[in-house]
Amino acid sequence: MEDSADVVVIGFGAAGACATIEAAGAGASVVVLDRFAGGGATALSGGVVYAGGGTRQQVEAGVADTPEAMFAYLKHEVRDAVSEATLRRFCEDSAKMLAWLEDQGVPFSSALCPFKTSYPTDDYYLYQSGSEDAWSDPAPRGHRTRAKGTSGKVFFARLAEATRRAGARIMSQTRAVELITADGRVTGVRCRTLTGLPQALHRTLTRAGAKPWLYYPPLGKRLFALAAWVERRFGRPLVVTARQGVVISAGGFVANRAMVHEHAPAYRGALALGTPGDDGGGIRLGVAAGGKVARLDKISAWRFVTPPSALQRGVLVDADGRRFGDVTRYGAAIGDEIVARGGRAWLLIDDDILRVARAQVRTQTAPFQRWQVRYLLNRGLVTAPTVGEVAAKAGIGTPQPFGTPPYSLINVSVRAGFGYPCPTLTLGGLVVDEETGQVQGVPGLYAAGRSAVGVCSESYVSGLSLADCVFSGRRAGQQVVKEAGC
Ligand SMILES: Cc1cc2nc3c(=O)[nH]c(=O)nc-3n(C[C@H](O)[C@H](O)[C@H](O)COP(=O)(O)OP(=O)(O)OC[C@H]3O[C@@H](n4cnc5c(N)ncnc54)[C@H](O)[C@@H]3O)c2cc1C
């Protein structure tokens, strides 16, 4: 089978949708392919977008923020993942980017969260989502999509509707397996596609499997193994010619254990936060066409101790009882510190912190956080009248005492156990030209989102991946059309 379009986009998550909307909006005919039904990690996500510099929601909430303040904070997180000029542009355009998302139908809100949390309850949608306090930067920039539960579903659904309105064709159950090149330029994509009953079966299996794959892997893996069999048995070859260019937006590689093992062995055994589509396939397509990769060793490991917010008054200690780190920082910064100590850590709290934390549970936790909170305040914790006794119970060296007895130690190690997994996300990918999003050295090929190196590729704070997907996806969609001279 053969097909053609001006632009072919591989992967229909946040980055792919944004690239498609821009390219189609500029008049190109666009086909967007997805191995599954689309949505990817984006649809499972919390739908938090890191934005600032004076968004409409910040202004309505009475929050003071400027692009300069946002740049000053993000410089600490982003470091040299992108150039200063790119980061500056990201910050200067941030409020406009959020307004663009609203224009596509994504709803946000100015309801400001009054407490520190890893994800606000359904009462709040604007919150301090990073380590801003560690750098004396009070501005809340986490803009959670306004929707109940985990908001990524609505975030993606609105982008998907906008993609359809823009006139793009979406080919689901179609897996890109190879890029076609002519005279050193990428000119198309070789795929395997499903139609008819096998397509419907594959769609049902992968839709049903997405959440279990994340939250109950034994079931999720079985459903996806069946789907992979359907692909092998019924997949038909399809060639889609791209007259202007190809965009790779096929997610990261956290589902590819061999790649994680090779590039970031310290993170083995942590929970893969994504979908089976995050198998590094998109990155490998770019490499086979001559692209380079960077920062594949950068992984975001989430070790949140809030909610409840009182826990950030505790102190982190290692297996020898030595204090380390700053528990008020973002969960991934804490995760990095723990991984650097061999993956083992405890949170020491006193009686007052425990009492206040228990009282905060009802008002500060979203339903999906209850398991984690139960772990932190019950199953994962040992208590004793003295610091020496509690350390002996936990099997670690004795930390310095603080506060009022009795004391508790919470095991926050990477492999702490059931109910408190350590989710991980890959941050590196194909190296792109920061002005255009073109994969360096490969004409006709662009990359965006977690298939590419971007703003969040050094370290992630909540919302920075989706914000980068929008930023890099739009850039790729605009440039693929512009460079082709349309
Ligand atoms: C539970 C959870 C919560 C999160 N919360 C947040 C949050 O609130 N804010 C934030 O910024 N980040 C969050 N993240 C991270 C964020 O969701 C992802 O980093 C981001 O969505 C990646 O977007 P993407 O467009 O690069 O890839 P995806 O959204 O994963 O889309 C990639 C698509 O490519 C398809 N694909 C893969 N290979 C192929 C192929 N060979 N051919 C065709 N199609 C292919 C996949 O099926 C998939 O649909 C969260 C992640 C998870 C899992």
pTM beyond 0.85, yes or no: yes
- How far is residue 208's CA from residue 221's CA, in Å, rounded to a whole number? 11
Atom of ligand 1 nearest to the CA of 38: 49
Atom of ligand 1 nearest to the CA of 15: 25
Q: Whose CA is nearest to atom 3 of ligand 1?
A: 45
The CATH number assigned to the domain with range 1-194+235-301+423-486 reads: 3.50.50.60
Residue 9 in 3-state DSSP? strand
Q: Whose CA is nearest to atom 11 of ligand 1?
A: 463
The rounded Å distance from CA 250 to ligand 1 centre is 8
**pLDDT reported for residue 485:** 62
The structural architecture, per CATH, of the domain 303-411 is Alpha-Beta Complex (3.90)
The rounded Å distance from CA 102 to ligand 1 centre is 20
Atom of ligand 1 nearest to the CA of 39: 49
Which among 32, 427, 450, 451 is the best mutation to test ligand 1's pocket, defined by most ligand atoms within 8 Å of the CB?
450
Going residue by residue through the chain, which has 486 residues, state the pLDDT in tens, using 9 for 90 and above: 899 999 999 999 999 999 999 999 999 999 999 999 999 999 999 999 999 999 999 999 999 999 999 999 999 999 999 999 999 999 999 999 999 999 999 999 999 999 988 899 999 999 999 988 888 878 999 999 999 999 999 999 999 999 999 999 999 999 999 999 999 999 999 999 999 999 999 999 999 999 999 888 899 999 999 999 999 999 999 999 999 999 999 999 999 999 999 999 988 778 899 999 999 999 999 999 999 999 999 999 999 898 999 999 999 999 999 999 999 888 999 999 999 898 999 999 999 999 999 999 999 998 888 888 999 999 999 999 999 999 999 999 999 988 999 999 999 998 887 788 889 999 999 999 999 999 999 999 999 999 999 999 999 999 999 999 999 999 999 999 998 765
User: pLDDT, tens digit, for every residue of 12-48?
Assistant: 999 999 999 999 999 999 999 999 999 999 999 999 9
Residues in the ligand 1 pocket, defined by CB under 6 Å: 10-16, 33-36, 38-42, 44-48, 175-176, 249-251, 273-275, 277, 281-282, 425, 449-450, 462-466, 469
Domain regions of the chain by residue span: 1-194+235-301+423-486, 303-411
Which among 44, 45, 129, 202 is the best mutation to test ligand 1's pocket, defined by most ligand atoms within 8 Å of the CB?
45
- How far is residue 314's CA from residue 260's CA, in Å, rounded to a whole number? 32
The rounded Å distance from CA 309 to ligand 1 centre is 28
* DSSP class of 400: P
Residue 210 in 3-state DSSP? helix
Q: Give Cβ neighbours of residue 271 (< 8 Å, ≥ 6 apart).
A: 214, 421, 422, 423, 424
The residue assigned the tokens 């909307």 is 21
List 429's β-bridge partners, or say none: 294
Q: Whose CA is nearest to atom 14 of ligand 1?
A: 45
Q: Whose CA is nearest to atom 9 of ligand 1?
A: 463
